[in-house]
A and B are shown apart, each in its own frame.
Chain A
Amino acid sequence: MRGAFEGIKVLDFSWLIAGPMLTAYFADHGATVIKVENSVFPDPIRSFAPYKDGLKGVNRSGSFVQWNNSKHSITLNLKHPKGAETILRLVSWADVVVESYGVGGMERWELGYERLREVNPSLVMLRISLLGQTGSSADFKGYGYHAQALSGVVDLTGWPDRPPVPTSYPYADIVAPWFGIMALIAALFERNETGKGQCIDLNLYETTLRCLEPAIVLYSTGKKGCGRQGNRSPYGAPHGAFPCSGEDSWCAVAVFTEEEWQNLVKAMGNPEWTYDSKFKDFKSRKINEDEVDSLLGAWIKKFSSHDLMHLLQRHGISAGVVQNAREVHEDPQLEHRNHFVSLDHPEIGECRHQTWPAKFSKTPCRIRRHAPCLGQHNRHVFTNILGFSEEEFIELGRSGVID
């Protein structure tokens, strides 16, 4: 079966998470993605733990594997006098260039949009930055968690009586790529229609803000939002994460309608406390929510998190185990979706690569190759893809353009 993006050629200068996730999506759906790295300064995520067997190495990082499915890796010295010339050959080959060096980053090597489009007028360039290519704060240097903080997501995470908390993952890094994919596909349509390329300004701040839009609409119409609510919701009661039997084991339970409340009462075996008028309807349960939580919690803690989830689901109640990473790896629904694909990696051995949330009936994603070793595809890219002769390729290596 063909991939949806078969034939699309992507030159990928991005690193860390946002850009690489986006290009991995295209690669798994058929695009040829060449990841431009450098032996002295490879993608920094190659130096992020965890490592296979705890041994550091540029090809041993599990964090790198997560975001680099199906790509080719080349190593180029962009500072070499002939480096730029070689890169421009790749730019001519490409349909798309993706970068995430921040404002002015590509310009340092004279590879800004104006230069690239001289060489390839129908090129689509996607530039990922934290706060945008322009604007009063565009010069701020930061990472995904900064965009998360600026966008209001951090302020909305945590307990009302405690400081806000970050998430353990950089939220903004896994929002922006999806909007980037939409922008890129729209640009490819434009190019197919008109032959024109374009330069896209995508940033982590504004894309994360799009996920907060309901709150923005609320505030802009004079309403005050609820701020950090812990695990509560203005639309449900009970609504929270309850401790189950077992250490640090929790299950989320969310009841929104009267029918769901009756289902929960039934699941609990119709305990007397539920007949108290204090809990007779949503409004009353909201007023007495602390007490609801306490009484419900006393019943819940007898169960394991998984048993509770299945029991409540059988009764038509929204419930889900608060899964840790091990449980996510073992999740039967994710297994059914073939979310984790094990591939053999030359240095790591067998390792899991992740697929994507949308499954396509005619063009399913296919992980073409494991996350690449540093510079693994120099020969293949320069000789097979770009058509350099063997002598030219050897010369590139000897002269240090390929490093």
Chain B
Amino acid sequence: MVMLSQQRVLDLSDHWGSYCGVFLAELGFEVIKVEKPGGDPLRWYGPYWQDDINPEKSLVWFAFNRGKKGITLRLDSPRGKNIFAELTRKIDFVIESSPPGAMQKLGLNYERLSKIDPKIILVSITPFGQTGPYSDYKASDIVIQALGGTMYSVGDEGRPPVRISMPLSYIRGGMHGAVGALTALYYRERSMEGQHVDVSVHEDAARVLCFELPCWEYEKQITPRLGVKRVRGNVQQGVVWPCKDGYVAWSLMGGVGAAKGVRAMLDWMKYEGKAGLLSGIEVGPRGLDLAAMSQQDCDIWDKIAGEFFLSHTKRELFEMAREHDMYICSVNTVEEVLGDEHLEGRGFWYPLHHDNLGETVTYCGPFYRSTEQTPSTRLRAPLIGEHNHEIYTGVLGLSQQEVTSLRNDGII
């Protein structure tokens, strides 16, 4: 992808936007992380490699910045601003996630940048967007999950709504930044015009809510928190089930497509003498009609299936499910994911050598495959100022003396 590999990005973002550059780097973009001299605050988030508290060894830094080159620059100094303005002429994208208004104070908002280069694409990734009643509100992942509506109907009855215990909002922010950058680039190729892309992570969370929003709009129903169950149509069904060595995911399904699997699972339960009240039931070619089933009917299925799962391991259930389309799968822990033969076989894990550690760290592999090219990361996360020389002399054309002077004056 020659065209994409010619694109150059300056990444000013913090954790809200950092993953944008990770995805763009995988597609071949040259992504240059801009840190303040001394290093970005994210480097001070642990855990650390072998518990060595060192800004070059933060595992969080590694994950959020792989694939990027790194330079240092004091953006809040006049000389630093001039350098940035000069760099703007040599690049295609600026990614930033500062509070709305901050770029304007620095003189680096879209209006100014586009005067330097009308083709520039500025991608701003913030919790709520550049304008609006919440635009200067503070947020973190739990606040986004809360306001976006994605927490309310998750969790056990009688307990608070619960979030997913992973800071997904930051990665999603980066994901939308990358989608926005690519969309704007596609337009730019035809029009020769850049533009400002304004990403709101909160707005993404609202787009995540699949059934809950129409349930309110059309039926004035609020989806309740049901723990391991969920609402499907008129009934509540189990989704997560304890088994012999952990948990599996399964829900009773109706219709033609699921008929084979439901019948096979019922036959298996009958074979093991565990079908109980379902022993006399046959599943026809059209499958079960869930809409016609009462809550009591569903409860019977759930009770018998639940007891059945307890006598089998995740692996047994998953393998039978694969063979007979039973729609049962393991609820994997992260360790089990790392040990998944399927992913291993697909070559999904991506080992990147960290020369500074003398070790290889495993990252996730490509987010897609293709008959033409598959994205990949070549670089580990940068050391502080690692590419100062390359970028300031090579791209900007400064002399070595100028670079040394900037370093001595604390500009880089």
Q: A216, B334: Cβ atoms under 8 Å?
A: yes
Docked Cα-Cα span, A4 to B181, in Å, equals: 11
Q: Which of A133-141, A273-281, A383-391 contacts B (4 or more CB under 8 A)?
A: A133-141
Docked Cα-Cα span, A49 to B291, in Å, equals: 10
Chain A neighbourhood of B362, CB < 8 A: 216-217, 220-221
A323 within 8 A of B: yes
B280 within 8 A of A: no
Q: A163, B179: Cβ atoms under 8 Å?
A: no
> How many residues on A have C-beta within 8 angstroms of the other chain's C-beta atoms?
149
State how many angstroms separate the Cβ of B145 from the closest Cβ of chain A. Answer: 7
Of A50, A140, A166, the residue contacting B215 (CB under 8 A) is A50
Docked Cα-Cα span, A190 to B248, in Å, equals: 41
Report A156-183 residues with CB < 8 Å from chain B CB. Answer: 156-159, 162-171, 173-175, 178-183
B1 within 8 A of A: yes
Docked Cα-Cα span, A356 to B207, in Å, equals: 7
Q: B138, A360: Cβ atoms under 8 Å?
A: no
Q: Which of A74-82, A88-96, A334-342 contacts B (4 or more CB under 8 A)?
A: A334-342
Q: Is the interface of B mostly helix, strand, loop or mixed?
A: mixed
* Contacts A189-B3, A252-B143, A256-B140; A51 near B370 (Cβ below 8 A): no
* Contacts A29-B183, A333-B129; A325 near B165 (Cβ below 8 A): no
A142 within 8 A of B: yes
B356 within 8 A of A: no
Inter-chain residue pair count (beta carbon < 8 A):
486
- Contact indicator per residue, chain B 80-102, by CB within 8 Å of chain A (1) or not (0): 00000000000000000000000
Q: B110, A334: Cβ atoms under 8 Å?
A: no
A153 within 8 A of B: yes
Report A317-370 residues with CB < 8 Å from chain B CB. Answer: 317-329, 331-334, 336-337, 339, 351-352, 354, 356-363
* Nearest-CB residue, chain B, relative to A60: B218
A376 within 8 A of B: no
State how many angstroms separate the Cβ of A31 from the closest Cβ of chain B. Answer: 11
- Contact indicator per residue, chain A 225-236, by CB within 8 Å of chain B (1) or not (0): 111111101011
Docked Cα-Cα span, A199 to B373, in Å, equals: 10
Report B207-249 residues with CB < 8 Å from chain A CB. Answer: 207-219, 221-223, 226-228, 230-231, 233-234, 239-240, 242, 247-249
Docked Cα-Cα span, A225 to B151, in Å, equals: 21
Q: B186, A168: Cβ atoms under 8 Å?
A: no
Q: A200, B369: Cβ atoms under 8 Å?
A: yes
Docked Cα-Cα span, A360 to B130, in Å, equals: 12
Of B63, B142, B162, B375, the residue contacting A159 (CB under 8 A) is B162
Docked Cα-Cα span, A53 to B231, in Å, equals: 19
Q: Which of B68-76, B292-300, B320-328, B392-400 contacts A (4 or more CB under 8 A)?
A: B320-328
State how many angstroms separate the Cβ of A234 from the closest Cβ of chain B. Answer: 8
11 A-B pairs whose Cβ atoms sit less than 8 Å apart in the complex: A4-B186, A62-B218, A136-B345, A163-B228, A220-B362, A318-B143, A320-B137, A320-B146, A333-B200, A339-B206, A357-B204
